[in-house]
C-alpha cells in the first residue's frame, strides 16, 4: 500500500509573481497582489502554492538569477509582505513552496563579487579555470551553455574564466566545496524556520560536475554541438551525495518536501532520485511529455503526436508505480500555453477541458500553472504593430539566444516569429487575465509585458459567472481527484489503443481493486464514430464527468472527453 503523505494528494498552483497580480499599481506583479488572490487559488481546490523566485535579482532571467537568497526583491515587496502571504496561506489551508535555485546565482551576488576578488572563503565558491592559448583568453574547454554559446565567460578582475551553464550572468556554484553546501543549507533553514513547507529545486541534477584528476573539467563530446559537455554535468558523479546532504536539512523539520526539476530525465533516471527508499527528492519534474510536438525543445517544432505522448505517460505511470511518485503538469513558466500546443485555439474550451481531463486523472501530484485554469493561450508574435520592431514583443533572455542561433543556421525572422507562438517561454509570462476591463484587471497602469488581446473573452471574471466555463470545469476535475483519490491519485494505470492517433483511453484502478475509473478522450479536431468507442464503455459504466453536456451520441465529438465509474 502506497504511503499517503500530504504532498501526494495535493493540487499545487504555480505563481510566476511578476505576471500574477499587481497590488501597488506599478505594472509589475507583487506580493500584495498575490495576497489579494489567495482565496481565489484556494477556491480552485488547490492545496499548495509554489512561488517562482521572489528573491532579490537583477532579473536577467526573471528571478532565476538570484543576488540575495534571504531577501525579497523590492519589485515584489518586503519580507514582511512575504510573511503576510505565508500566514494567510496557512490560515486558509494552503501549503507554501519556494523555488530554490542553487545550480547558479546571479553575477551580482556578493558571493560572486568576492569570488572574483579572491576573498576567502569565497575564492572557490564558483567554478574557475585558467584560459587556454598564449594570452589565456581562449575558453578552458568546449562546453556549451543551455542558452546557446560558450559555457565560459572571462573575468578581467580575476584573470580567469567562470562556468555558466545558462546565461553569462548566472555563474555556476561549486558544490564540490563543502562551504558552498553549508551556505545553501543555511539558506534552506532560513525559509524553513520562517514556515515554508518545501522547495522546488531548479535544474537540480546539474549541480555536480565531473572533473579530471587535475581538477579541471573534461572536454565535451564534439558531436553534440547544442549540449556539448552535458554528459559531464547532468547526473554528475556526486549528485546523490549532495542531494542527501541537502535532504538532511529537511529532516530537521516536521514533514516538509522537495521536488526536483531536471532536463533530460526519464523514468529510469528518475528512480535514482525519487525511489521511495531514497532520502533525496520526493518527486521529479521532467520534460518528456512536453516533447509531443517537438524534438527535445519546443523551438524544433513538429506536428503534435498523440502516440508519442501516450507512450511517455505509459512509461512514467507504470514504471514509477509503487516505486516512486509522479509530478503531473501541462504548463509552467518554462512552457508555452498548452491549448496553443496540444489543443486547439479554435475549439478553445473543448480542447482545454479535454487536456485537463487527460492529465488530472493520472497518478501523482497535480500542478496547475497560473492562467491555465482559464485557458490562457500563447501570443501571436507575427502581428507586431506596424512600424515597430517585432522583437520588442519579447522579454525572455532564452528567446533572444535561440533567435540568434536560428539566424546563424539561416532561418528567416518570419519563420522564427511563427515558431515562437508555440515555443517561446514568453508565452507563459503574459499577465494573468482577471477581467475583461483595462489591462485585463492585472493593473491600473500599463503592465510590464503585453496582455494577450484575447483577454476580453478569456478571463477569470467572465468564467466565474459561467457554470460551464473552463475555470469551473477545473474545479470539478480537482474535486473528483479528491473524491476518487484511491483510483485517481494512487491507482494502477492501464492504457488502451496505444497506437491510436485520436483516442487516449485509460483505466485507473484502486490498489484494493474496488474502485475503477475509465477515461475516454478524443484528443483531436475530428470526430470519432461511436462504433470505435462503444466497446470501451461497458453497460455498468456510470458517467461522472463530460466535456459536452448530454449523453454520448453517435460519435465522439472533437475533444470530447468522458470519465466513467465502472461498477462490478
Q: Which active-site residues does the annotation give?
A: 202, 261
CA distance 386 to 132: 48
Which parts of 397-542 fold into alpha helices (H)?
397-408, 413-423, 460-464, 470-483, 485-488, 530-533
CA distance 326 to 328: 6
What residue has cell string 522547495? 199
Residues 63 and 54 sit within 8 Å (Cβ to Cβ): yes
Residues 414 and 393 sit within 8 Å (Cβ to Cβ): no
CA distance 370 to 217: 39
Number of Cβ within 10 Å of residue 525's Cβ equals 14
CA distance 462 to 425: 26
SS3 content of the chain, % helix, strand, coil (to 5): 35, 20, 50
CA gyration radius, the chain: 24
Is residue 304 helix, strand or coil?
coil
How many residues are there in the chain?
568
CA distance 293 to 315: 18
Which parts of 177-232 fold into alpha helices (H)?
178-194
Phi-psi region of 73 (alpha: psi -120 to 50; beta: other; left: phi over 0): beta
CA distance 508 to 510: 7
Q: Longest Cα pair distance anywhere in the chain, in angstroms? A: 80
CA distance 23 to 32: 5
Residues with Cβ within 8 Å of residue 238, at least 6 apart in sequence:
175, 176, 208
CA distance 302 to 298: 9
Residues 342 and 289 sit within 8 Å (Cβ to Cβ): no
- The DSSP line for 225-281 is STTTTGGGTTT-TTHHHHHHHHHHHHTTSSS-EEEEE-TT--HHHHHHHH-TT-SS-
Q: Which of 356, 375, 568 is nearest to 480 (CA)?
A: 356
| Sign of the alpha-carbon dihedral angle for 463, 468, 473, 476 | positive
CA distance 348 to 457: 11
- The DSSP line for 35-77 is HHHHHHHHHTT--EEEEPP-EE---TTTTSS-SEEEEE-TTT-
Residues 161 and 139 sit within 8 Å (Cβ to Cβ): yes
Amino acid at each position: 500500500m502506497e504511503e499517503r503523505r500530504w504532498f501526494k494528494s495535493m493540487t499545487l498552483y504555480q505563481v510566476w509573481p511578476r505576471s500574477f497580480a499587481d497590488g501597488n499599481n506599478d505594472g509589475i506583479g507583487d506580493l500584495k497582489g498575490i495576497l489579494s488572490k489567495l482565496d481565489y487559488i484556494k477556491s480552485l481546490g488547490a492545496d499548495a502554492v509554489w512561488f517562482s523566485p521572489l528573491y532579490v535579482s537583477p532579473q536577467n532571467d526573471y528571478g532565476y538569477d538570484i543576488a540575495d537568497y534571504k531577501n525579497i526583491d523590492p519589485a515584489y515587496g518586503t519580507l514582511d509582505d512575504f510573511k503576510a502571504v505565508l500566514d494567510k496561506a496557512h490560515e486558509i489551508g494552503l501549503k507554501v513552496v519556494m523555488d530554490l535555485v542553487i545550480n547558479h546565482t546571479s553575477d551580482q551576488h556578493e558571493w560572486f563579487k568576492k569570488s572574483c576578488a579572491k576573498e576567502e572563503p569565497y575564492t572557490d565558491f564558483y567554478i574557475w579555470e585558467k584560459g587556454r592559448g598564449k594570452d589565456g583568453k581562449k575558453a578552458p574547454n568546449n562546453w556549451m551553455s543551455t542558452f546557446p554559446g560558450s559555457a565560459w565567460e572571462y573575468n578581467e578582475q580575476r584573470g580567469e574564466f567562470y562556468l555558466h551553464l545558462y546565461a553569462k550572468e548566472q555563474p555556476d556554484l561549486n558544490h564540490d566545496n563543502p562551504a558552498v553546501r553549508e551556505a545553501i543549507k543555511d539558506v534552506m533553514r532560513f525559509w524553513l524556520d520562517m514556515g515554508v513547507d518545501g522547495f522546488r529545486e531548479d535544474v537540480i541534477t546539474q549541480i555536480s560536475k565531473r572533473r579530471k584528476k587535475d581538477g579541471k573539467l573534461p572536454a565535451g563530446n564534439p558531436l553534440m554541438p547544442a549540449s556539448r559537455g552535458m554528459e559531464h554535468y547532468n547526473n554528475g558523479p556526486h549528485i546523490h551525495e549532495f542531494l542527501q546532504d541537502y535532504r538532511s536539512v529537511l529532516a530537521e523539520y516536521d514533514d516538509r518536501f522537495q521536488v526536483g526539476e531536471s532536463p533530460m530525465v526519464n523514468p529510469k533516471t528518475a528512480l535514482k532520485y525519487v525511489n521511495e527508499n531514497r532520502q533525496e527528492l520526493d518527486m521529479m519534474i521532467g520534460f518528456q511529455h512536453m516533447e509531443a510536438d517537438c524534438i527535445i525543445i519546443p523551438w524544433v517544432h513538429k506536428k503534435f503526436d498523440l502516440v508519442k505522448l501516450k507512450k511517455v505517460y505509459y512509461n512514467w505511470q507504470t514504471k514509477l508505480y509503487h516505486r516512486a511518485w509522479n509530478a503531473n503538469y501541462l504548463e509552467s513558466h518554462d512552457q508555452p500555453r498548452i491549448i496553443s500546443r496540444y489543443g486547439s485555439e479554435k475549439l478553445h474550451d473543448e480542447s482545454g477541458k479535454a487536456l485537463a481531463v487527460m492529465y488530472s486523472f493520472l497518478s501523482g501530484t497535480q500542478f496547475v500553472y497560473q492562467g491555465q485554469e482559464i485557458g490562457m493561450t500563447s501570443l501571436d508574435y507575427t502581428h507586431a504593430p506596424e512600424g515597430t520592431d517585432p522583437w520588442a514583443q519579447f522579454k525572455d533572455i532564452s528567446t533572444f539566444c535561440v533567435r540568434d542561433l536560428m539566424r546563424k543556421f539561416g532561418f528567416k525572422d518570419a519563420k522564427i516569429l511563427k515558431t515562437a507562438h508555440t515555443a517561446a517561454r514568453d508565452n507563459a509570462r503574459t499577465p494573468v487575465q482577471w477581467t475583461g476591463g483595462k489591462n485585463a484587471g492585472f493593473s491600473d497602469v500599463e503592465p510590464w509585458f503585453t496582455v494577450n488581446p484575447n483577454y476580453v473573452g478569456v478571463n477569470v471574471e467572465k468564467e466565474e459567472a459561467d457554470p460551464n466555463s473552463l475555470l469551473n470545469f477545473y474545479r470539478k476535475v480537482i474535486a473528483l481527484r479528491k473524491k476518487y483519490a484511491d483510483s485517481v491519485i494512487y491507482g494502477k494505470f492501464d492504457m488502451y489503443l496505444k497506437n491510436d492517433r485520436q483516442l487516449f483511453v485509460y483505466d485507473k484502478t484502486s490498489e484494493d481493486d474496488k474502485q475503477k475509473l475509465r477515461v475516454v478522450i478524443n484528443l483531436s479536431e475530428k470526430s470519432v464514430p461511436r462504433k470505435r468507442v462503444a466497446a470501451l464503455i461497458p453497460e455498468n459504466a456510470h458517467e461522472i464527468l463530460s466535456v459536452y453536456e448530454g449523453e454520448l451520441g453517435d460519435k465522439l465529438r472533437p475533444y470530447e472527453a468522458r470519465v466513467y465509474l465502472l461498477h462490478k
